[in-house]
Structure 1
C-alpha cells in the first residue's frame, strides 16, 4: 500500500482533476445500465493517466535528473534501433509506400520523440553532457531523428514543433510571442493555400500520399457534413464523423451535457464500419479526446481536463529549468494530441509516465536550475 508520506501534496494536487473526471464517469451508473465489458474498458481508459502519472512518479522519485534523462534517451534509442532494423530488412522503404510502412511498423512512437527532445536539449539547460563520451549523443540523436521521420506521422511532426516552441518560450503569452504566433499562422495558411492549388493524389505511394494527409488534416478533424456512402469522403473525415455522431446522441439526452453519458456508453455510428473483421456499428471512444471526455463526463469533465492541462502549462512562467519547461511542453503537446489521438486517454501513450517522472523531480528538487 502507498503510505501518506509517499503521496505528497504535490502529486495529489496534480492528479486530482483526472481523478475527479474518473469519478464523474461513474455517476451515470445510477441512471443507465451498460454492458459490463464496455464499462470495464472505459474504467481502464480513464484510470490510465492517473495510474501512469503515479507510476512514473514513484519509479523516478529517488532518481537524479541526469539518470532519469538517460533512461528515457536509452529506452527511446533501443526502440529506434528496432524500428529502423524492421523497416530496412522489409525493403518497403525503397519498394513499398508510406502507408505500408506505417501500417506494418507503427504509426508513431512518442517515447522516441521525447528521447530525441531530451537528447537535444539536456545540455542546453544543464550545461553538461549526458554521456561521458562526447560522440555518443550525436549518434543517438541521428538514429532517433531518422526513426522519428520514418514514422511519417503528422502528429509527431506537429507535436515536435509545438514542444520546440514551448522550449524556446514562444508559448508564453506576451506581445512578442503573439506577433510570432500570427506569423506562424500566416505561414501555415500560405502552405495550405498552395496545397489546395495543386492536385495531390491520395492513392499515390511515397511523399504525395503523405502530403495529401497533411492537406486534409483540418477538415478531417472538423468536417461534419459527410456522405457515408462516399467511402473516400468518409475515411478522409472519419474523426469529424465520430464527433458528429457523439454530439448527435448527446442532443437526444440533454442531461449528458452536464455529467456525460458515463462509462460503458457507446456511440452509434448508424452503419457497420470496417474497423475490424466483423465491422463495428458501436464504438466506445473517439479520436478527438475533447469530444471523448465531453461525451463520457459532460462539460464538468471537459473543464477539469482543461484545468489539469493549464496547471501544467503554467510551469513555464515559474522557473526556466529543464524540468519545468518540459512539464509545460508536455501540456502543450497534450493540448494538440487530445484533439487528434485522444491525448492522455490514448491507451498507447507513454508520455504520461515521463510526465510522472518530471513531476517527481520537480517536487524532490533533484535538478540544477538554470538561472536564465
Structure 2
C-alpha cells in the first residue's frame, strides 16, 4: 500500500475528530494511537530539529507535572492536565509525521481540500436547518460551531499560494474560485471575532507588516488609532446585548477588551458576570495563587483547580471548580508560574521570528502560526485549546522548512 493511501485517512481521522468529536479524552487517545502507528510504519522518524523546537513545551509539561506532585489533587484532574499539556506536543509531531513522505504541493492540496470539505459541510448544515433566518447570531454559532481554523488556513493558502509560487493550487480556475468562495462564506458564517483577527494577522504577516521596523510601527499606531475611533463610536451608541444579527455581533466586539481584562465583577450581576467571564476566571486564579506565593514562580501544578466560589451554570448540574481558563496566559501562569510563561513565549516568538528569514511560503506561514498563537492564547488558550488544529498544520510546515528546493517556484 502506498504511503499516501495510509497517511491521508489517518490525517482526516485526526482532524475531523478534533473538530467534530466533543470528547477530548477520546481525541487524545486517537492521536496517541495514530502517532504510534506512524512511528511503526517503515521509515518514519522524529528529527532532532523538531525535538529542539518542542523543548520549551516539554519543559512546561515537566514543570506542571512536578509542581503538581507536591500538592493535594484528585487523580482525574491530574490526568486531565497531563493530556491537555501533552496535546500540542503530540499534535506538532503528528503533523510532522503525516507529511514527512508527501511532497509540498500535495501537502497544500490536502489542507485546502480538507478545509473545503468542512466548509461545504458547514454551509449545508446551515442551509438545510434553516438557521440563516435566525435572529440571534449566538444561536447560529452554538448550533454549528464557534470557529474552524482548518478552514481559515485553507482560505489563506488558496488566497496567497500564487504570491509565492506563481501558480494556482489547482489547474482548473473555476475549481479554485469555487473553493475560495465556499471557504470565505463558511468562515464568515462562524461570526467569530477570533477568526477575523487571525485572518487579518495572517494577511499583515504575508505583506510584511508584522516585522518590527519604523514603517510598521507607524502603521501599527495608525491601526491603534483606527481601533480607538471604532470603540469611541461603539461606546457612543446604544447596542442591545440581546439584539438581532449584526447588533449582537457588534455588542460582542464592544465588550471584547473588558471581557478579557476587567476583573472588578459582581458575580451576583449575571449580565456583568457573563460579559466579563474571562476576567472573572483570571481574578479567581490569581486570588488562589496569592495563598501560596511560590506558585507565582512554578505554578500550582497539574491537578490544581480554580474555585469560582459559586456553581456556574456551565452544565446541567453547575460547576464550582474548573481546571482551565479561556485566557491561555493565565492558564499557563496558574499551572506553571512565570517560568511556564517565559517558556511559552520563547516557543511562540521562535515561530514568529521566521518572518525575518527568506521571504518564502513556508517561513511566512510558520511566522503566521506564531503570531496567531500569540493572539489566540489570550482568547481561547492557543496551542492548549482542545480543538486546535493549527499545531498539526505547523508540524507539516516544518517538514518542508528544511527542503529549500521545494520552495522554488514551480
Structure-1 separation of matches of 2:377 and 2:78: 22
Alignment partner, residue 350 of structure 2: 311
1:137 and 2:176 equivalent?
A: yes
Q: Larger RCO: Structure 1 or Structure 2 (Cα < 8 Å, ≥ 6 residues apart)?
A: 1
Alignment partner, residue 333 of structure 1: 372
Deviation by residue 1:29-64 (Cα, 9 ceiling, x = unmatched): 341131111011111110000000000001111222
1:279 and 2:318 equivalent?
A: yes
Structure-1 separation of matches of 2:295 and 2:302: 12
Structure 1 consecutive aligned stretches of length 4 or more whose deviation exceeds 6 Å:
none
Is 1:260–1:294's contact at 8 Å kept on the other side of the alignment?
yes
Instruction: Write the mapping of 1:215-254 to structure 2, written as runs, cut at 5 A.
Output: 215-254=254-293
Pairwise CA distance, 1:92: 1.9
Structure-1 separation of matches of 2:340 and 2:365: 25
Alignment partner, residue 235 of structure 2: 196
Structure-2 separation of matches of 1:98 and 1:30: 44
Match of 2:47 among 1, 5, 8: 8
1:162 and 2:201 equivalent?
A: yes
Instruction: Write the mapping of 1:44-193 to structure 2, written as runs, cut at 5 A.
Output: 44-193=83-232
Give structure 1 stretches of 5+ with no counterpart: none
Structure-1 separation of matches of 2:322 and 2:187: 30
For 2:241, what is the secondary structure of its paired residue? coil
For 1:152, what is the secondary structure of its paired residue? coil
Structure-2 separation of matches of 1:280 and 1:145: 37
Pairwise CA distance, 1:9: 2.1
For 2:173, what is the secondary structure of its paired residue? coil
Is 2:299–2:333's contact at 8 Å kept on the other side of the alignment?
yes
Is 1:171–1:177's contact at 8 Å kept on the other side of the alignment?
yes
For 1:363, what is the secondary structure of its paired residue? coil
Is 2:44–2:100's contact at 8 Å kept on the other side of the alignment?
no
Deviation by residue 1:253-310 (Cα, 9 ceiling, x = unmatched): 0010111111110000000000010000000000000000000011111100000001
Structure-2 separation of matches of 1:17 and 1:342: 17
Pairwise CA distance, 1:368: 1.7
Structure-1 separation of matches of 2:296 and 2:88: 23
- The number of residues matched between the two structures is 370
Alignment partner, residue 66 of structure 2: 27
Pairwise CA distance, 1:27: 1.1
Q: What's the C-alpha RMSD, in Å, of the aligned pairs? A: 1.4
Pairwise CA distance, 1:5: 8.7
> Which 10-residue stretch deviates more, 41-50 or 124-133?
124-133
